[in-house]
Structure 1
Amino acid sequence: MVDLNMEGMSLPAIFDKARRIHISASDASVDQDAVKKACGLLRKCEEMIGKLGLFSRNETNDEISTSSLKYILVPYYLGEFIEKTTAEDRIEILKASQAKLKEFVSFCGTMELVPDDELESSVQSTNGSTFADIRAKKIARFKRQKAAESKLLEIKEQKERRGRSTRASALSTPVEAGEDNLEDDDGEEEREAWLTTISLAICKALDLLEMLKKEEVMLSAIRDKQ
C-alpha cells in the first residue's frame, strides 16, 4: 500500500523524500510501491513549484536562487520513475516518460544549461545525422557525464575534508580564522553541486530519451503487425 500523506509537508521535505527514493532505486528492479510513491511526491512538487512561481522562462540559471536549483530536476526524476512504471500499455508509458524528459531538457536549454547541438537533437529526428555525427555527439556527451561525475565526487571529498578540519579546529579554538567565510563557501559549493548534478542529469536524460524512442518505435511496429 502506497502512503502518500503529504499534508503539511513543505516543498523541500517532499522533494527530499522523492530524491531519497531516486537515489536508492535500483536500475535493475524497482519496487512498484516505491515508484508510485515517488511519482506522487514529484507530481506534488510540480504542483507546489507552479503555485510558488519558482521558475520563469525569462530567467537565466544565474537568476535562480541556489535553494531553488534542485527543483529543476523534478521532471527528470518523474520521467525516470514513469519509465519504471509497470503497465499494460508500455507505449503510453514510454510516451509519458519521454514527455517529462523533454520538458526537463527543454527547460534546461532555456536556462542555457544544454549544449546547442544536444538541444537540437533532443527535439528533432536523427534521421538526417550521419553515423559520424551521432558517434561524435555520444562521445562528447560521455565526456561531459564523466566530468560531471568526477566534479561531484571532488565536491563531496572537499566537503568531507572541510568537515573533518572544522571539527578538529573546534577542539583547539572557539573561532578559527576565516570561519566567517564558511557559510559563503558552503553556498557556492552547494550551487556548483546542484548545477553539476543538473548537467549530469541532462546527459542521462538524453541517453534515456534515445533509448525510449527506439523502444517505442519497435513496440509500435510490432503492434501495427498484429
Structure 2
Amino acid sequence: MSEWKMEDMPLPALFDQARKIHSAASDSSVDQETLKRAIEALHRCDEMVSKLGLFSANETKNDVSTANLKYLLVPFYLGELTEKVAHGDRLQVIKISQDRFKEFISFCEVLELVPEEETWNSRPQGSFTPEARRALKISRFKRQKAAESRLQEIRERKERRGRSSKAAALSTPIEAGEEDALDDDGDEEREAWLTTISLAICKAFDMMEMLKKEEEMLSAVKDRQLKVSYFISKTGFQVLCVA
C-alpha cells in the first residue's frame, strides 16, 4: 500500500484509508506494519472526532447526521485491528481490544442503536442461564445475517443504479423503477451505515465473548506458570539451606 501522510489528511480521507485496511485485514492477511499504520490512523480519527464534537451523550441515532454515522465505527475498527496485532504480551492486546469494543458498544447504547436484549444495563440478575445465553446467541446470529443480507441488497441496488446511469448517458431506456432509485441516495446511504453499525454491534459482542474466554485461558496458564516458578524458587532456597 502506498505511503500516506496522515497528519495532512482530513478526517473523511483518513477514515477511508483506515477502513480500506480494515476491510483487507478482514478478508486476508495484512502485514503488521500496515496494521499498525491503520491503528495509528484510527487513533488520529478518534482524536479528530472528539475535537470536532461530532457526537453528544444527549443525542440519539436520529440526531446524528448521515455524514457522521460512519465515525461511530472508529472504536470498533480499532478493536478488530488491535486484536490482530502480534505482540509478546497477548493479554495486553486482549485488554486493549476489549476496551475498544466496550467503548463502541457503550456509545451505541447511548445513541439507542443496541437492541434492548443486548444492552448491559437492562440485563436482569440471573439472566445468564445456558438457555438465555443460547437464545441471545441465536437472536444475535439472526440479526447479523439480516444485516449482511440487507447490505448485499443495497450494494446490488447501487450497481443497478450505476448501470442505469450509464444507460441514460448513452440514451438507452432506463429499467422500470430505476428512476426513483436515482433520487434515493441520501436515505440509502444512511440505511447502509446504520446497517453496517448494526452488523458491527453483533460482531463486537461475539468478539468480546471470544476474547473473554481467551483471557481466562491465558490467565490460568500464567497463574500455573507463576506457581511453578514460585515452587522452584522456594525449593531451590530450601536445598541451599540444607546444604
2:109 aligned with 1:74, yes or no? no
1:96 aligned partner: 96
- Aligned partner letter, 1:160: E
1:190 aligned partner: 189
2:47 aligned partner: 47
**Worse overlay, 44-53 or 25-34:** 25-34
Contact (CA 8 Å) 2:147, 2:198: kept in 1 or not? yes
Tell me the CA shift for residue 168 of structure 1: 1.0
1:225 aligned partner: 224
Max Rg structure: 2
Within 2, Cα distance between the matches of 1:28 and 1:11?
26
Tell me the CA shift for residue 162 of structure 1: 1.3
Within 1, Cα distance between the matches of 2:185 and 2:29?
35
Within 2, Cα distance between the matches of 1:155 and 1:112?
23
Q: Normalised by the size of structure 2, how large is the TM-score?
A: 0.84
1:88-129: CA deviations, max 9, x gaps?
A: 1111110100000010011111111111221228x98x9851
- Aligned partner letter, 2:70: K
1:151 aligned partner: 150
Within 2, Cα distance between the matches of 1:200 and 1:207?
11
Q: Normalised by the size of structure 1, how large is the TM-score?
A: 0.90
Runs ≥4 residues deviating over 3 A? 26-30, 178-184
1:210 aligned partner: 209
Match of 1:113, SS state, is coil
2:135 aligned partner: 136
Within 2, Cα distance between the matches of 1:104 and 1:202?
8
2:86 aligned partner: 86
Contact (CA 8 Å) 2:161, 2:182: kept in 1 or not? no
Within 1, Cα distance between the matches of 2:178 and 2:133?
49
Percent identity over the alignment? Answer: 60
Is the alpha carbon distance of 1:201 and 1:33 closer, same or farther for their aligned partners in structure 2, counting shifts above 3 Å? same
2:237 aligned partner: none
Within 2, Cα distance between the matches of 1:97 and 1:204?
13
Is the alpha carbon distance of 1:150 and 1:182 closer, same or farther for their aligned partners in structure 2, counting shifts above 3 Å? closer
Unaligned runs of 5+ in 1: none
Tell me the CA shift for residue 5 of structure 1: 2.5
Contact (CA 8 Å) 2:75, 2:100: kept in 1 or not? yes
**Worse overlay, 200-209 or 157-166:** 157-166
Match of 1:34, SS state, is helix
RMSD of Structure 2 on Structure 1 (CA): 2.8
Contact (CA 8 Å) 1:145, 1:203: kept in 2 or not? yes
Match of 1:116, SS state, is coil
- Aligned partner letter, 2:91: I
Tell me the CA shift for residue 7 of structure 1: 2.6
- Aligned partner letter, 1:196: T
1:159-193: CA deviations, max 9, x gaps?
A: 111111122122228xxxx9997675101100000
- Ranked by relative contact order (alpha carbons within 8 Å, sequence separation 6 or more), the top structure is 1
2:75 aligned with 1:64, yes or no? no
Is the alpha carbon distance of 1:94 and 1:114 closer, same or farther for their aligned partners in structure 2, counting shifts above 3 Å? same
1:172 aligned partner: 171
Match of 1:7, SS state, is helix
Counting matched residue pairs gives 224
2:116 aligned partner: 116
1:34-75: CA deviations, max 9, x gaps?
A: 210110010000011011110001101111110000000000
